[in-house]
A and B are shown apart, each in its own frame.
Chain A
Amino acid sequence: MADYSSLDIRQRSASTGTPPDIRRQQEVAKLIDVSKCIGCKACQSACEEWNDLRDDVGINVGVYDNPHDLTAKSWTLMRFTEYENAETNNLEWLIRKDGCMHCTDPGCLKACPSPGAIVQYSNGIVDFVEDHCIGCGYCVKGCPFNIPRISKTDNKAYKCTLCSDRVAVGQAPACAKACPTGSIMFGTKEAMIEQANDRVVDLKSRGFDKAGLYDPAGVGGTHVMYVLHHADKPQLYAGLPNDPKISPLVAFWKGGAKVMGLATMGFAALAGFFHYVTAGPNEVEAEEEEEAIDMKARGARRSADEIRPS
Chain B
Amino acid sequence: MTNLWMDIKHADVITVMGGNAAEAHPCGFKWVVEAKAHNNAKLIVVDPRFTRTASVADLYCPIRQGTDIAFLSGVAKYLIDNDKLQHRYVAAYSNAGFVVKEGFDFNEGLFTGYSEEKRDYDKSTWDYELGPDGFAVVDETMQHPRCVMQLLKKHIAVYTPEMVERICGSPKETFLKVCQMIATTSSPDRTMASLYALGWTQHSKGSQNIRAMCIVQTLLGNIGQLGGGMQALRGHSNIQGLTDLGLMSNLIPGYLNIPIEKDANYADYISKRQFKPLRPGQMSYWQNYNKFFVSFQKMMWGEHATKENDWAFDYLPKLDVPTYDVLRGFELAKQGKMTGYVIQGFNPLMTFPNRAKMTEAFSKMKFIVVMDPLQTETARFWENHGEYNDVDSSQIQTEVFELPTTLFAEEEGSLSNSSRWLQWHWQAQEAPGECKPDIEIMSELHLRIKALYKRDGGAFADPILNLSWNYATEDSPTPVELARELNGYTVAPITDASGATTPAGKQLDGFAQLKDDGSTACGCWIYSGCYTEKGNTMARRDNTDPGNKGIAPNWAFAWPANRRVLYNRASCDPEGKPWSERKKLIEWNGKQWVGFDVPDYGVTVAPDKNMGPFILNQEGVARLWTRGLMRDGPFPTHYEPFESPMANIPFPKMKGNPVSRIFKGDLADLGTSAEFPYAATSYRLTEHFHQWTKHSRINAILQPEMFVEISEQLAKEKGIVKGDWVRVWSKRGSLKAKAVVTKRIKPLNCDGKIVHVVGLPQHWGFIGKTRNGWHPNTLTPVVGDANTETPEYKAWLVNIEATTPPNDRVA
Query: By the criterion CB–CB under 8 Å, are B701 and A39 in contact?
Result: no
Bound-state CA distance A91–B49 (Å) is 11
14 A-B pairs within 8 Å (CB atoms) are namely: A36-B37, A38-B686, A45-B702, A54-B701, A56-B701, A57-B701, A57-B770, A60-B738, A61-B723, A90-B60, A92-B55, A93-B54, A181-B30, A199-B37
CB of B741, distance to nearest CB on chain A (Å): 6
Query: By the criterion CB–CB under 8 Å, are A48 and B701 in contact?
Result: yes
CB of B1, distance to nearest CB on chain A (Å): 18
Bound-state CA distance A94–B722 (Å) is 19
Q: A57-B704, A63-B723 are in contact. List 20 more A-B contacts (CB 8 A).
A: A36-B56, A38-B29, A40-B23, A40-B686, A41-B686, A57-B697, A60-B723, A60-B740, A61-B722, A62-B707, A62-B724, A62-B738, A63-B740, A64-B740, A66-B687, A94-B55, A95-B55, A180-B30, A182-B30, A206-B58
CB of B743, distance to nearest CB on chain A (Å): 4
Within 8 A of A (CB), among B437-459: none
Query: By the criterion CB–CB under 8 Å, are B55 and A58 in contact?
Result: no
Chain A residues closer than 8 Å to B27, beta-carbon distance: 180
Report which of B26, B54, B740 forms a contact with A180, defined as CB distance below 8 A. B26
Query: By the criterion CB–CB under 8 Å, are A66 and B29 in contact?
Result: no
Residues of A bordering B, CB below 8 Å:
35-42, 44-45, 48-49, 54-64, 66-67, 74, 82, 84, 90-95, 180-183, 199, 202, 205-206
Query: By the criterion CB–CB under 8 Å, are B700 and A36 in contact?
Result: no
Query: By the criterion CB–CB under 8 Å, are B56 and A45 in contact?
Result: no
Within 8 A of A (CB), among B722-771: 722-724, 738-744, 769-771
Residue B52 at the A interface, CB < 8 A? yes
Residue B157 at the A interface, CB < 8 A? no
Q: Mark B46-73, 1 if CB is under 8 A from A, else 0.
A: 0000101111101010000000000000
Residue B698 at the A interface, CB < 8 A? yes
Residue B606 at the A interface, CB < 8 A? no
Bound-state CA distance A293–B37 (Å) is 53
Within 8 A of A (CB), among B697-719: 697-707
Q: Do A39 and B740 form a contact, CB below 8 Å, given A57-B701, A57-B771?
A: no
Q: Do A38 and B740 form a contact, CB below 8 Å, given A56-B701, A58-B704?
A: no
Chain A residues closer than 8 Å to B702, beta-carbon distance: 41, 44-45, 66
By DSSP majority rule, is chain A's interface helix, strand, loop, or mixed? loop
Chain B residues closer than 8 Å to A64, beta-carbon distance: 740
Query: By the criterion CB–CB under 8 Å, are A38 and B705 in contact?
Result: no
Nearest A residue to B737 by beta-carbon distance? Answer: A60
Q: Do A41 and B738 form a contact, CB below 8 Å, given A62-B724, A63-B722?
A: no
CB of B775, distance to nearest CB on chain A (Å): 16
Chain A residues closer than 8 Å to B769, beta-carbon distance: 57
CB of B445, distance to nearest CB on chain A (Å): 38
Query: By the criterion CB–CB under 8 Å, are A66 and B704 in contact?
Result: yes
Query: By the criterion CB–CB under 8 Å, are A62 and B740 in contact?
Result: yes
Chain A residues closer than 8 Å to B707, beta-carbon distance: 60, 62
Bound-state CA distance A45–B697 (Å) is 10
Chain A residues closer than 8 Å to B50, beta-carbon distance: 91, 93
Bound-state CA distance A37–B721 (Å) is 28
Residue B319 at the A interface, CB < 8 A? no
Residue B22 at the A interface, CB < 8 A? yes
Residue B33 at the A interface, CB < 8 A? yes
Chain A residues closer than 8 Å to B742, beta-carbon distance: 82
Nearest A residue to B56 by beta-carbon distance? Answer: A38
Report which of B22, B724, B744 forms a contact with A40, defined as CB distance below 8 A. B22
Query: By the criterion CB–CB under 8 Å, are B22 and A38 in contact?
Result: yes
Chain B residues closer than 8 Å to A66, beta-carbon distance: 687, 701-704
CB of A121, distance to nearest CB on chain B (Å): 28
Chain B residues closer than 8 Å to A206, beta-carbon distance: 58
Report which of A39, A48, A59, A91 forms a contact with B60, defined as CB distance below 8 A. A91
Bound-state CA distance A202–B770 (Å) is 40
CB of B197, distance to nearest CB on chain A (Å): 15
Chain A residues closer than 8 Å to B54, beta-carbon distance: 93
Chain B residues closer than 8 Å to A183, beta-carbon distance: 33
CB of A200, distance to nearest CB on chain B (Å): 12
Chain A residues closer than 8 Å to B770, beta-carbon distance: 57
CB of B706, distance to nearest CB on chain A (Å): 8
Chain B residues closer than 8 Å to A93, beta-carbon distance: 50, 52, 54-55, 744
CB of A158, distance to nearest CB on chain B (Å): 16
Chain A residues closer than 8 Å to B700, beta-carbon distance: 57
Chain B residues closer than 8 Å to A38, beta-carbon distance: 22-23, 26, 29, 52-53, 55-56, 686
CB of B800, distance to nearest CB on chain A (Å): 15
CB of A60, distance to nearest CB on chain B (Å): 4
Bound-state CA distance A40–B26 (Å) is 7
Q: Mark B132-166, 1 if CB is under 8 A from A, else 0.
A: 00000000000000000000000000000000000
Nearest A residue to B62 by beta-carbon distance? Answer: A91
Bound-state CA distance A60–B725 (Å) is 10
Chain B residues closer than 8 Å to A58, beta-carbon distance: 701, 704-705
Interface hub of A61, A62, A94 (most chain B Cβ within 10 A):
A62
Chain A residues closer than 8 Å to B53, beta-carbon distance: 38
Bound-state CA distance A37–B34 (Å) is 12
Report which of A41, A60, A90, A202 forms a contact with B705, defined as CB distance below 8 A. A60
Chain A residues closer than 8 Å to B771, beta-carbon distance: 57, 59
Chain B residues closer than 8 Å to A94, beta-carbon distance: 55
Nearest B residue to A90 by beta-carbon distance? Answer: B60
Nearest B residue to A84 by beta-carbon distance? Answer: B743
CB of B634, distance to nearest CB on chain A (Å): 38
Shortest beta-carbon contacts, A-B, top 5? A62-B723, A62-B722, A93-B55, A38-B22, A60-B705
Within 8 A of A (CB), among B632-657: none
Bound-state CA distance A38–B703 (Å) is 15
CB of A176, distance to nearest CB on chain B (Å): 13
Chain B residues closer than 8 Å to A84, beta-carbon distance: 743
Query: By the criterion CB–CB under 8 Å, are B687 and A41 in contact?
Result: yes
CB of B450, distance to nearest CB on chain A (Å): 46
Interface hub of B33, B60, B697, B706 (most chain A Cβ within 10 A):
B33
Bound-state CA distance A183–B30 (Å) is 9
Bound-state CA distance A45–B689 (Å) is 14
Query: By the criterion CB–CB under 8 Å, are B52 and A40 in contact?
Result: yes
CB of A93, distance to nearest CB on chain B (Å): 4
Nearest A residue to B685 by beta-carbon distance? Answer: A64
Bound-state CA distance A63–B740 (Å) is 6
CB of A181, distance to nearest CB on chain B (Å): 4
Interface hub of A41, A56, A82, A183 (most chain B Cβ within 10 A):
A41
Chain A residues closer than 8 Å to B26, beta-carbon distance: 38, 40, 42, 180-181
Interface hub of A38, A49, A56, A60 (most chain B Cβ within 10 A):
A38
Report which of A44, A59, A202 forms a contact with B704, defined as CB distance below 8 A. A59
Bound-state CA distance A61–B698 (Å) is 18
Q: Do A91 and B699 form a contact, CB below 8 Å, given A180-B27, A181-B30?
A: no
Chain B residues closer than 8 Å to A90, beta-carbon distance: 60
Bound-state CA distance A93–B51 (Å) is 9
Bound-state CA distance A95–B52 (Å) is 9
Chain A residues closer than 8 Å to B686, beta-carbon distance: 38-41
Bound-state CA distance A159–B723 (Å) is 28
Query: By the criterion CB–CB under 8 Å, are A59 and B738 in contact?
Result: yes
Bound-state CA distance A38–B706 (Å) is 21
Report which of A36, A39, A45, A60 forms a contact with B699, defined as CB distance below 8 A. A45
Chain B residues closer than 8 Å to A48, beta-carbon distance: 698, 701
Q: Mark B24-40, 1 if CB is under 8 A from A, else 0.
A: 00110110011011001
Bound-state CA distance A58–B633 (Å) is 50
Interface hub of B54, B697, B701 (most chain A Cβ within 10 A):
B701
